[in-house]
Amino acid sequence: VTSIRTGLGSIRLTWVGISQTHVKRGGVSPEFGGALGGIVNAVSKSGDNDFNFGAEVRWDPDGLLSQHDSIYQENGTISTNTKQSSYDFKELQLWASGAIIEDTLFFYGLFAPRREESTGAGQTTYSDFERDEDRWFTKVDWFINEDHSVGFSAMNNKRTWTDKTFAYSWQENVIGEQQGVDAPGEDGGKVYSLNYNGYLTDTFSVSAVVGRVTENVENVVASPNPGVWDERDGFVTLSQHTNSSVTEQEFTRDQARIDFNWDLDMHSIQFGIDYTNVKVDYFEGQNGIGDAEGWWTVKTAGENDISGAPLGSDFIERRVRSREVDSDTTSLAFYINDSWQATDSLVLNMGLRYSQFENTVSDGRAFVDIDNQIAPRLQAIYDVSGDGSAKIFATYGRYFQPVSANMNITQGSASIEWFEYFELDELDANGAPSLMADGSPSRGDMLRDRRWRQRGITEPGLIASSALKPMYSDEFTIGYQQEVFDTMSAGVRAIYRDLGR
């Protein structure tokens, strides 16, 4: 359930369907990789022989919400506008669980629709926004016999919305005509997983899981007008654009792993393999048609300004940036861990994780290809009291950081970015450029030739160094934990981390 694009945080979860979460901050065992300081391991709810059901309704009315005051820039222009802000939230949660076949086949189901309604204004536009989310989660567990079971889980967190944009004057706090048409959009996706657990012998067990997570983001612009801003004195929005950028995003993560556990007299040996592939399909561009496309900004030239404008003169900057990529990230890892009961009071966990990962550009060539990442994970736990009520522990671990799918977009895409600079032409009563029929600012002659920042480079050797090394974190911990009551313990721990490559 980790965020697909960045690898940080999680996708939106139906938390009512989560039975427990285990937060591990340091001392992570070798079965887990890519940890940035820790992990959160979530376990979903399941059904049993007892039938259970429940419901919960939540409503956060706008009338009980207090808005903070608007914030203004030094020149008096509004910066954060709360004059038209409102927010209303409604949620229904229905859940049920039980046995389909007693002692054999169980189910858990959750349906949790949401609706959000909000309004808000900026300097030149007012937004009326509605969003619906028909979230659901289901799980089925089949205990074939005492030694073998399979399970299937599925979840939906797709959201759809409609955004209406209107002309607006912050000085008069007046809402004008709608700009363009209603703009629909959607994000989120689905999660599917199939798992197996079995005992092959009394001492040897196996668990396997395969899964897919999808996440899509689609925005339909209500109007083709580009974004136009004035940065000469503060930050003023001149346009009544509905969207300054146009994006389409589609991410698909396929995962598979298999884990084995072998219990011996004084040793418990665990080993396994995990594999992940993320498919990235992404497009980003600026709003505007033809010569109006871009982000338009009015600026004042400094000394030796890159625009070519004389010092102190005003000019218009046009910035166009497009990113398009259809690529993959792939990671493969093997691990082994031996939990050894060295003495009655001392447990030693000795593990090793090997990993490799690859990030590609659209034609399949790798701009990141790193292997032979060997990460030891060591832990010692000493039972001070002999009954488990007090323990001292120390750990050492190396954690390699894979390159996230976001880098396929920012570095591995065929990014094109350029700037054009123009003299001012027709001005309105406030001294700002008048806007033409296509929404772009009135402008005069170009001050210089087009300036390129990126030219769509997809050559792996120009994106990343061929000698690129992986980032890793070496972590040392030492701590003490003491049982206070039967259901409560307290402890202290020191953690030292060193980032290297």
Q: pLDDT tens digits for 436-457? A: 999 999 999 999 999 999 888 8
Say what the pLDDT of residue 180 is. 83
In 10 A of CB 95, how many CB atoms? 19
Lowest mean pLDDT among 131-140, 266-275, 403-412: 403-412
Instruction: At 418, list the tokens.
Output: 């350029």
pTM here? 0.87
Closest to 136 (Cα-Cα) out of 109, 161, 114: 109
Say what the pLDDT of residue 403 is. 87
Say what the pLDDT of residue 40 is. 82
pLDDT band at 220; cut points 50, 70, 90: confident
Determine if residue 342 is left, alpha or beta; phi over 0 gives left, psi from -120 to 50 gives alpha, anything else beta: alpha
Instruction: At 414, list the tokens.
Output: 């065929």
Please state, in angstroms and rounded to a whole number, the distance separating the CA atoms of residues 274 and 262: 18
Please state, in angstroms and rounded to a whole number, the distance separating the CA atoms of residues 86 and 116: 11
Say what the pLDDT of residue 86 is. 95
Q: Using the predicted structure, report yes or no on whether residue 10 has a pLDDT greater than 80.
A: no
Please state, in angstroms and rounded to a whole number, the distance separating the CA atoms of residues 124 and 499: 46
Say what the pLDDT of residue 232 is. 92
Beta strands, E only, 189-313? 190-199, 204-219, 227-230, 236-237, 245-263, 267-286, 295-300
Please state, in angstroms and rounded to a whole number, the distance separating the CA atoms of residues 191 and 139: 11
Q: Using the predicted structure, report yes or no on whether residue 459 has a pLDDT greater than 90.
A: no
Question: What does the pLDDT look like over 470-492, one tens digit per residue?
Answer: 889 999 999 999 999 888 999 99
Question: What does the pLDDT look like over 240-265, one tens digit per residue?
Answer: 888 888 889 999 999 999 999 999 99
**SS3 of the chain: helix, strand, coil, percent, to 5:** 5, 60, 35
> Which residue is associated with the tokens 């792996």?
460
Q: Using the predicted structure, report yes or no on whether residue 271 has a pLDDT greater than 80.
A: yes
The mean pLDDT of 335-361, rounded to a whole number, is 95
Q: Using the predicted structure, report yes or no on whether residue 38 has a pLDDT greater than 80.
A: no
Q: Using the predicted structure, report yes or no on whether residue 60 has a pLDDT greater than 80.
A: yes
Say what the pLDDT of residue 363 is. 86
pLDDT band at 101; cut points 50, 70, 90: very high
Say what the pLDDT of residue 9 is. 73
Reduced to 3 states (helix: H, G, I; strand: E, B; else coil), residue 17 is helix
Spell 209-219 as b/e; 16+ CB within 10 A means b.
bebbbbbbbeb
> Which residue is associated with the tokens 């007892």?
50
Say what the pLDDT of residue 393 is. 95
461 phi, psi to nearest 5 deg: -70, -20
CB 108 within 8 A of CB 17: yes
Q: Which residues contact 268 (CB under 8 A, 6 or more apart)?
A: 261, 262, 338, 339
Please state, in angstroms and rounded to a whole number, the distance separating the CA atoms of residues 404 and 423: 41
CB 157 within 8 A of CB 137: no
Reduced to 3 states (helix: H, G, I; strand: E, B; else coil), residue 461 is helix
Return the half-sphere exposure (C-beta side, CA atoms, 13 A cut-off) of residue 114.
18
What is the DSSP secondary structure assignment for residue 33, as one 8-state letter? -
Closest to 218 (Cα-Cα) out of 159, 137, 270: 159
Say what the pLDDT of residue 228 is. 96
pLDDT band at 494; cut points 50, 70, 90: very high
Please state, in angstroms and rounded to a whole number, the distance separating the CA atoms of residues 28 and 21: 15
Q: What are the beta bridge partners of residue 168?
A: 175
Question: What does the pLDDT look like over 384-437, one tens digit per residue?
Answer: 988 888 999 999 999 998 888 888 988 888 889 999 999 999 999 889 999 999
Closest to 419 (Cα-Cα) out of 286, 309, 322, 318: 318
CA angle 402, 407, 409 (to 5 degrees): 150
Say what the pLDDT of residue 5 is. 83
Q: Using the predicted structure, report yes or no on whether residue 219 has a pLDDT greater than 90.
A: no
CB 501 within 8 A of CB 471: yes
Lowest mean pLDDT among 8-17, 257-266, 363-372: 8-17
Say what the pLDDT of residue 288 is. 92
> Which residue is associated with the tokens 């323990």?
391
**How many separate helices (H) and strands (E) can be counted in the chain?**
2, 28
Return the half-sphere exposure (C-beta side, CA atoms, 13 A cut-off) of residue 22.
6
Across all residues in the chain, what is the average pLDDT? 92
Please state, in angstroms and rounded to a whole number, the distance separating the CA atoms of residues 499 and 476: 12
CB 433 within 8 A of CB 425: yes
Closest to 281 (Cα-Cα) out of 408, 172, 367: 408
CB 460 within 8 A of CB 361: yes
The mean pLDDT of 55-72, rounded to a whole number, is 93
Say what the pLDDT of residue 122 is. 92
Please state, in angstroms and rounded to a whole number, the distance separating the CA atoms of residues 1 and 213: 8
Structure-model confidence comparison of residues 113 and 246, the more confident one: 113
Please state, in angstroms and rounded to a whole number, the distance separating the CA atoms of residues 408 and 176: 41
Per DSSP bridges, beta strands 366-383 and 346-360 are antiparallel
Q: Using the predicted structure, report yes or no on whether residue 108 has a pLDDT greater than 90.
A: yes
Say what the pLDDT of residue 273 is. 98
Say what the pLDDT of residue 414 is. 82
Lowest mean pLDDT among 17-26, 79-88, 415-424: 17-26
The mean pLDDT of 121-136, rounded to a whole number, is 94
Please state, in angstroms and rounded to a whole number, the distance separating the CA atoms of residues 5 and 3: 6
- Looking at the chain, the whole-number percentage of residues with pLDDT higher than 70 is 100
Say what the pLDDT of residue 179 is. 87
Determine if residue 223 is left, alpha or beta; phi over 0 gives left, psi from -120 to 50 gives alpha, anything else beta: beta
Say what the pLDDT of residue 487 is. 85
Instruction: At 471, list the tokens.
Output: 């980032």
Structure-model confidence comparison of residues 411 and 360, the more confident one: 360
Lowest mean pLDDT among 171-175, 234-238, 492-496: 234-238
Say what the pLDDT of residue 52 is. 96
